[in-house]
Amino acid sequence: MREIVLDTETTGTEHLKGDRIIEIGCVELLNHIPTGKTYHAYVNPEYPVHPGAFAVHGLSNEFLADKPVFADVAARFLEFIADARLVIHNAAFDVNFLNAEFARTGHQPIVLNDVVDTLALARRKHPGASNSLDALCTRYGIDNSRRTKHGALLDSEILAEVYIELIGGKQTGLDLSVQSFAKSSITVKTGASAPREVRTRPMLSRLTDAEREAHQAFVQGLGPNALWLTYLGEEKTPS
C-alpha cells in the first residue's frame, strides 16, 4: 500500500480570506515503511505572509518572491501523490488550502474522507491529552530537536514516524507474508473464527498452596450452586 505523508505551510490560517500555500512537503511510505522518496516545493503565494505565520515558519515575502506559483508546481505535485492515500495531521486544514489552490488551477479536489487524519487517530488513542505533533513526538520518544521552525518537509518526515507509532509501532513493517505464516505452527484464516495455536504442554500453575487453599475456602462459602464448582470440575448439588 502506497501512502504519502503530507504537510503544508501557508501565509495564514484563513483560506477563505485569501491566504495561500507557500510550502509543500511529502514523504512516501510503502506498507508503512519510508522509501526515501520525497517531494518538496516552495511556492510564491502572490499574497502577503501574515506576521503571525512568519513567526511560525520563518518564510518571508522576500524569500518567496522568486519561487514558482502553485500553478507551476501542481502537475509535479499531483504526479507524486497520484494513487496514494494521503496522511495529514489536522487534515481539514491542509486539504482546504490544497482544494482552494486546485480550484484556481482547474484540478479535481481532494476528498477529505479519503485522507488519514493523524490528529483524529491520536485523539482516539490518547483522549484528553495534548496531541500536537510536538506532544506526540515526546510521547513516542521521537527526536524533533531539528524542529526549531515549522517546515513542510521536516514536519512530514516527523509525522511519518508518529503515524507508524499511532498505528502500532515499528512491528507494522515486519514481513507478514504468506511464506512467513507457512513456516509457523499456526493455522491462519480470515474472519473472526481463526483458530489459536494449541499448546503441546500446559503452562505450570503459579499459585502457591496458601493461595489455592484460600480460594477453595472462598468458593465453599459461596454455597452449593456456585458457578466456580463447574470450573473446578465438581457437580453442583441439586436444589
Active-site residues: which are they?
150
Q: Which residues of 139-167 are buried (b: 16+ CB within 10 A; e: fewer)?
A: beebebeeeeebbbbbbbbbbbbbbbbbe
Q: No. of H helices and E strands in the chain?
A: 10, 5
- Contact call for residues 56 and 149 (beta carbons, < 8 A): yes
Strands of the chain, DSSP E: 2-10, 21-30, 33-42, 85-88, 116-117
Three cell numbers written together for 1: 500500500
Three cell numbers written together for 151: 517546515
- How long is the chain? 239
- Contact call for residues 45 and 66 (beta carbons, < 8 A): no
d(C-alpha 20, C-alpha 12), whole Å: 7
